[in-house]
Structure formats: C-alpha cells, structure tokens
Structure 1
Amino acid sequence: MKQLLLSALAGLFALCGNLHAADAPTPEQAREIAKQAYFFAYPVVMDYRTMYAQAIKGDREFGKWIHLGLSKPSDTDIVTPNNDTPYSYAWLDLRAEPWVLTVPKVEPKRFITSQWNDMFGFVVDNAGSVNDGNDVVKVLLASPSWKGDIPEGVDRVIQGESDLLGSLTRTQVIGGESDMPRVSEIQQGYKLQPLSAYTGGKAPAAAPAVDWPAWTEGDEETLKYWDYFSFVLPFITRNADDQPLYDQLASLGMSAEGGWKTADLDAATQTALKAGIDDARAEMKKLGEGDLDANKLFGPRKLLGTRYRDRAMGVYMGIFANTSDQSFYISMPADSKGQPLDGSKNSYTLTFTKENLPPVEYFWSITLYNLPQRFLVENPIKRYSIGSATPGLKYEDDGSLIIHVSAESPGKDLESNWLPAPKTPFWTVLRSYGPDEAIIKGTYNTPAYQPTPVK
C-alpha cells in the first residue's frame, strides 16, 4: 500500500506525459488529471471549510481564539479529535502585517503545543513543550513574502506557503475535568497580537476586504469543490515543485492564479472534473479502511513534498494532526486475527506488559471513533479515551496493564480500565505525546487486541 501511495503522481505523468501546452487532453487524460488535482486541492478546500467555521461564519473573526474543553461526540469540526488536550483554534490573515504569538509558561510535566498549518495542510511549526520547553515562548507568524526584522523578544519566525495560517493549539488536561480550571487559565494566556500592536508602532493599511464564499456541507463531493479551490489560490504562494500539476490544471482551463468558475468550463471538462472527484473519493475511502502509516501523512513540505495523495489522506483521516516528534499516531483498526474492530461481534482486551508500556516523555492514550465518520462515540460513562493519564487506572501486580474495549461493561471491578465501544464497527488510535525514538523509528511493538466473541 505504501508503494501504491508513492506512485500516485507517476501514474498521472505516465498517462499525461505526452501532452504539450497547446494540446487538449483526451477524456481519459482529463479524468485522471482531475483525480490527481482533487488530491492536490483537498487540503486547501477542507482547510477553507474549517477556517470558514472558525474565523468567518457568524461572529467569528481572524485573530481571535476559540477555546474548547474536552472533546465530546457533539464536536464535529474536525475528524478524529483527541480527548486528552483541549483545543484552542485561531486563524490569521497575514496580508497586511505579521502577528506575534505568546505561549505562556506552564508546569514542567504538562504538554502544550501551538501547531500552525498553512492552507496546503503543511505543518509549518509548533511552539511549545517539545520544541521550546515550557517557559514563555514568542514567535512571529508572517506571510510567505514577509522579509522584515524580527522584533526584540521574539524567538523565531513561522511562515508557510499561504497568507492564511491556522492553529490547533493543544493543552494537556491532567486528571480529567477537575483540571479544566487550570487548562482554561493556560488557554487565556495564549496571546495573539498584530505586529504593530506588539511593538507599539503604526498599524499598516488594512488588506483589501474579501467576500468569503459560504461553505455548505457536502460541497467537497460536488463541482463547487473546484470553485473553493479557485477562490483560495490567490492566497497561496506557488512552489516550483508543484508546477507540473499546475500545468496539467491549465490544460483543463484552470489557471494557477485562480479566479475561474467551474460553470464557465466546457461541458466535457465539467464531466471529467466530477468523475475525478468520484474516483479520488473512492480511492481515499478504500485507503482509509486499510492500515496506513499515519505519521507519513502529516508534516512540512520537506517531508511530504509532492506526495499529494498522502497529504490528502492526512486531512481525510485527521485534519490538523501533528508531526511525529510532537505526537505520534498509531492506527489500531483490527484485532490480532486481522479482523476489523466491531463491538457487535466481539469484546476486546489489550495488554501492555510493564516493559512494553508506550515510552513517552509526557503521556499516551487510546481514543475510539465510530466509522465511517471518525467522531467520538456516546457511552454511559462518558469516557472517550484511556491511557496513562486516566484517573484510577489499575495495573496488575506485575506492572502490566489490561485495557477492556467492549460495548457492554466488563464488570464494575474492571470499569476503571474500560474504554466503551459501540455495537458497530469502530476504529482506535494510540497517541504518544513526546514519543521516544523507539516509537518514532517504528521499533516499538504495539500490542494487539485479543477478541472474545459476544454471546
């Protein structure tokens, strides 16, 4: 499967490599171009969806934090949310001037990170525990074209490939709901300021006003998808590595400068674009049901390069997931027999020996999601994840840990270690915060779910 992921562009250019700039692609070539372009554009369009909900719709604003508590099943802004680190969201429009982010000082053992992504879904930086320690950190967030001086007291500059940057900032909760007042205090300490306000200088002229198109759920499956992509393109700085893809788009009448409307393209091209959407989504669904190495799907351009399908799959599987040095994700979709997890068929145990507990600097957890939505699941004890920071977790006398995953309670004496599951297929993810090299390099031996048929 990994070889299949790496060969996506090879197929495109083998099929379309004999096109000259003035040639019109055949219907088959146009359909394949559209499919690969869907992968390329997917992070752009789905980031726009998220940005619209968090910074544009209603009374939302750029430069304003949205602080959340522990994630719940009703939280559907992003797929595969964690239940360990309450989220803080913010988006910045950097066309007029940079902004300064201040991350507050926190306790030495608490994990925090302010992750920033550009509109291509690249993780451009993290300010916080792993990269900077837990003292105060200040960073400058700037557009790709900014070349000014770094203000005094600012540690470094963060720049992506777009004038729009978004943050998913994580603050560890220690011990459950009782720690939320402290988490809220930390969240209020995340400070965003325009550079002129930070330095006390004169504010520059405002950037031109933007008539942001309203997002409608499901548009990613229709021809409107391409209109969002066209709209966002002017906010993006093109990278030369992507030029072959832009050239293929141009052969369909879709300029890299954006501003075009899908409805203005000819009927044959519109047909190819819709077929490309359907082909790409079918492929993404199939890949998402398999055993993907999630840690090769998230990161900066130097890691992902032109692996457009991998980048799209990262957004599809878990938009705003972080880089492996910050939090490592191990998908656990099947049991020891290779069968997909299903609470209507089996109950499961997962045993970590004392020597094989996940080696981490901060903490680890396992979170359970429904399928195909990949959202948290309602359950009677309102536990959506379980791990080293779970209050009351009980270890065996030999130091091993047994976790019970099932639709029905394993019994009152075992509920301390119970992760409730639905009576349907489900999916789990093991997250390691501040992972050891053994996890990052893949030498850590993840235990397997042992199934017991439901009577």
Structure 2
Amino acid sequence: MSLQERVLASYTDGMAGTAARAAAALAVGLLTACAAPHPAAEPERTAVDVATDGYVYGYAPVTLARTRANMLCLLPVNRLHHQSATADPTSRVVVAPNVDTLYSIAWLDLREGPVLLTHPEAGDRYFDFQFLDIYTDVFANVGTRATGSAAGAHVVVPPGWNGPLPAGAAVIESPTWDAWMIGRTLVEAQTDLEAARAVQRQYSLTVLTAPVADAPPPLPPTACGSNPDPQALAASGPQFFDELSAILAANPPPPADGPLLDELAGLGVGPGARPSAGPADTVAALATGVIRGERRIRDLVDSGEQSGAVWGSLATAGRYGTDYLQRAVVATIGLGANVPEESTYHVARTAADGSALRGEAGYLLRFPPEGPPVDDRGFWSVTVYGPDMFLVANPVDRYAVGDRTPGLVRGPDGALDVWVSSRPPVSGGSNWLPAPPGEFVLMFRSYLPTDRAWTPPEPTPQP
C-alpha cells in the first residue's frame, strides 16, 4: 500500500507605516515655570493619504488573486498541475520564473476541506513545496530543508480547523482560506529532465472532506478571457478597491492590519463592499490614491532603495508583517519569492559604474573559486530578464548560468567569469549569458544559502 493510500485509509477509519512621531516641548509658562512638554499634533491624514496606503496594502493580495484567476482558467482549485519543462520566454503567468526547477502548482480552496499532500523519497534531489496565504506571506515549507528527503504526508487545514485529521500526516494550518502551493523540483541538467519528471509524477494532492459549512464566501468567479492583468493593477483605477474588498470578505486579514483597514473603512473599503460606486469625492480620492500608490511602489523598484547597492536583496521575502511597501515590491519583481532560509534573491538593474544594464554593452561577473556559499544540497544561478521581469528569447536558449551549467570554463585559479551581453564574447560562448538588446535585469538565486549576507559580484562594464 502506498504512503498516500495508508494515510487516506487511516483518515477514513478516523471518520467512523510607519512614520516616526516627532515630539516638541511647548513653553506655556510665563516667567516662573515651564509646563510639561506636549506632543505636537500630527498632520491630519487626508482621504488620498489613506487611499494611497490602501493601494500599497492591497497590491500584493490583488496581484495574487488576479494571478490565481488567470491560472484557474487552465486548472481547477485543489488540483496539482505539473510543469513538464523548465521555464522559457513563453512562461508569462508569474513574473521572474526560474529555469532551475520544474514547477508543481496548486491553488488551494480550503472551503472544500483540508487537502493532503504526499511526496516520495527524494534522495539527493532538491525539492520544496512552498505555501503562501492570499496576502503572499509564506506560512510553511515542505521539502529537502524543512522536512527532509524521506517520503512524507502533510495535511493543510483551513483557519481554526478542529475537525478530523488523518493519522500519520503532519498538520499545516493556513492563515487564509485561499492559498497557493508552489512545488519546485531540481533539474540537474537536460539529461536529468525525465528523472525529475518521474519524481514529480509521484506527488499527490487530495481533498479529504466535504465543504466546510461556516466558511467565508469564495473569491469571485473568474472571467476567462477578460480577467484583469496582474501586472497592470493601476489601470483599474478605483475598481482596484472593489477587488481588495472581495479578498477581505473571502479571507479575513490578520489583526495587525486592523489600524489601516479601519481607516479604509471610512472610504467604503471593507469586506464585500463596492467602494468604486461610492460618493464622487470618495471615488476621486481612491483614484488619486491608486496613482500615488503605484508611483510609490515603482519609485522604490526603479531606484533600488531597498538595497542601496548594485544588488538589491529581497531579504524579507515571504515574511512582511505590516511592511506593505516591501510586500508590494516583491510582488512586482518576484511574486512567490520564498523565505530567505530556503532561497535568497538579489536583483541588479545597474552596473558597477551606476549605469543601467544594457545588452549592447558587455559585463563581467567574476565568481570566486569557492563559489557562492550554498549547502551541498542546494545550488545557485543567475538569470537574465527583460525590464518586465520575464525571460527574453535568445539564439542559444540559455537564460541562466549556475553551478550545474555544463561546459563552463574556469580560470587557472578556479574563478568563474560569466560574460553578460547581447553578443557572445570574442573568446567564445562557453561562459556567455545572453542578454536582450536594451535594458535588462539580473536576478541571482541561492538555494539553501549558508551565508545570507553574501552578495554576488557586481556586473562590471567591459571595454
């Protein structure tokens, strides 16, 4: 009997903002005394201020909900979908896909009951199942690092679940009723692809019970063919807040979000509401908030202020608390980024001299002989994307270089020089990482990093 069958059998048996606050002392005494200091009044927040913060707050969950809607046009909820090939330029559903692993995707709707994930013994092959709530926080990992390579069974339950559970399965409680499961299975090389697929085919996802009676309403049904673009939220104007309100109804947010949501309620934004149909002055404030919020996010993405260096690190990926701006930035350039102990991400848009990366130029990435610091079970890669964070076709179909790339030539001291340009190096193309003409973006990934403070070498312009 398989692991899945044993666990299912046991289950069946069981059924019988932050801004610093300034303080000022006011001298109100006459000649003989000074009164105690009083805090200066904060500037009154306008409706546009609240709407701007609301757009930043809602950016990640609305992006995820739109991505979900698009993907549900191809696969139903609670069904595991396997990508049988590594990503290429046709992969344009989620920004910044990696080309190191095969993806296994499922959108969980826990209103239908808990779901059981089983996986086989993986041996030395890296794999990971990452679970994100609808607000894009990572709430669990299953795989090589987190739970080990032995065969396993994990049951994902909805918030507050106190119903029956299968014996022998580890329990994962989701903070929200809708969740995203992203499985990654390492492909060592093209010759390893079929073996990776064989492992992937042994993953299983099963719904265990009937629908939950007291669950909140589901997210709105998808409108296949007319779903709004996950990469163009601002184009929806005030209707953006209708989408956010639907998410709040379907997935009650964490208590820490209460202060901002209380303010948004004054603009008609709340569970199940339709704020775009509110009073004209409120709708105008919401529209302005969308524009300003979008600018705030894009300015941070474009400026690289999240790092202050050539390589920007997504050091807080997966755990955002109330840092809604950082959450929005990650949703823009790396939706689905994992927690740093699983994988670190560094993004570069400029060269060592401060100029924007452009394919017509040539850049050298020199990796030291010892290479990036990763666990023996992990790996690393550097990938080229267009400005929109999607892969761009090139004549040799190479989109990343890493520790498993065949044919790379190292220097006498063991250092690895990678040439990044739209043209191959004069010395030959062995270490060439093709870039598109015009501006491009580099993303360095380190899976199972052993030194999270390590920074990749800066791309240095070459004459």
Which TM-score tier does this pair reach, normalised by the shorter chain?
0.7 to 0.9
Going from structure 1 to structure 2, the CA distance change for 1:260 and 1:12 (only over 3 Å counts) comes to farther
1:99 counterpart (106, 112, 115): 115
Kept in 1: contact 2:365–2:419 (CA 8 A): yes
Q: 2:289 aligns with which of 264, 269, 276?
A: 276
- The reply on whether 1:452 has 2:462 as its aligned counterpart is yes
Task: Give the 3-state SS of the residue equivalent to 1:165 in structure 2.
Answer: strand
Alignment of 1:234-313 (within 5 A): 234-255=249-270, 258-291=271-304, 292-293=306-307, 294-300=313-319, 304-313=320-329
Distance (whole Å) between structure 2 residues aligned to residue 320 and residue 13 of structure 1: 37
Looking at structure 2, the residues matched to 183 and 447 of structure 1 have their Cα atoms a distance apart, in angstroms, of 31
* 1:138 equivalent in alignment to 2:153: yes
Structure 2 CA distance for aligned equivalents of residues 152 and 340 of structure 1: 55
**What are the Cα deviations for residues 370-409 of structure 1, in whole angstroms up to 9, with x where unaligned?**
11x1111110000000010111222122111111111111
Contact 2:62 2:244 in 1 (8 A): yes
Q: What is the aligned partner in structure 2 of residue 161 from structure 1?
A: 175
Moved more, 444-453 or 272-281: 444-453
**Contact 2:364–2:460 (CA<8 Å) still a contact in 1?**
yes
CA distance in 2, matches of 1:78, 1:220: 18
2: distance between equivalents of 1:53 and 1:133?
A: 33
How far apart in 2 are the matches of 1:132 and 1:305? 24
Equivalence for 2:7: none
- CA, structure 1 residues 205+312, in 2 after alignment: closer, same or farther (shift >3 Å)? closer
**1:4: which partner in 2?**
none
Gapped regions of structure 1 (runs ≥ 5): 1-7, 20-24, 197-202
CA shift in 2, pair 1:219/1:290, >3 Å: closer
Residues in 2 aligned to 1:374 and 1:225: alpha-carbon distance in whole angstroms: 23
Task: After superposition, give the CA deviation of every residue in 1:265-299 in whole Å (9 maximum; x if it has no partner).
Answer: 11111111111111111111111123334433422
Q: CA deviation at 1:219?
A: 4.8
Q: CA RMSD in A?
A: 2.4
Q: TM-score, normalised by structure 1?
A: 0.85
CA distance in 2, matches of 1:268, 1:204: 42
Report deviation, 1:165.
Answer: 0.8
Contact 1:9 1:36 in 2 (8 A): no
Residue aligning to 2:100: 84
Runs (4+) of structure 1 exceeding 6 A deviation are: 11-14, 205-210
Q: Deviations over 1:243-263 (max 9, x none)?
A: 1111101111223xx111133
Whichever residue aligns with residue 128 of structure 2, its letter is T
2:140 to 112, 122, 125: 125
Amino acid in structure 2 at the alignment position of 1:33: V
Structure 2 residue aligned with 1:216? 228
The one-letter code of the counterpart of 1:188 is R
* Aligned position for 1:71: 87
CA contact (8 A) 2:111 2:212 kept: no
* TM-score, normalised relative to structure 2: 0.84
Per the alignment, residue 324 of structure 1 pairs with: 340
Q: Is the 8 A contact 1:348 1:450 kept in 2?
A: yes
Q: Whose helix proportion is higher, 1 or 2?
A: 1
- Counterpart of 2:443 in structure 1 is 429
What is the aligned-residue identity percentage?
32
CA contact (8 A) 2:375 2:448 kept: yes
Are 2:50 and 2:289, in contact at CA under 8 Å, matched by a contact in 1?
yes
Alignment of 1:41 onto 2:58: yes
**Aligned equivalent of 2:410:** 395
In structure 2, the CA distance between the partners of 1:405 and 1:315, relative to structure 1 (3 Å rule), is: same
- Report if the CA contact (8 A) 2:158-2:173 is conserved: yes
Query: Which one of 43, 55, 71 corresponds to residue 54 of structure 1?
Result: 71
Unaligned runs of 5+ in 2: 1-16, 24-39, 308-312
- Between Structure 1 and Structure 2, whose CA radius of gyration is higher? 2
SS at match of 2:448: strand
Partner of 1:9: 18
Q: Does 1:416 align with 2:430?
A: yes
**Structure 1 residue identity aligned to 2:57:** F
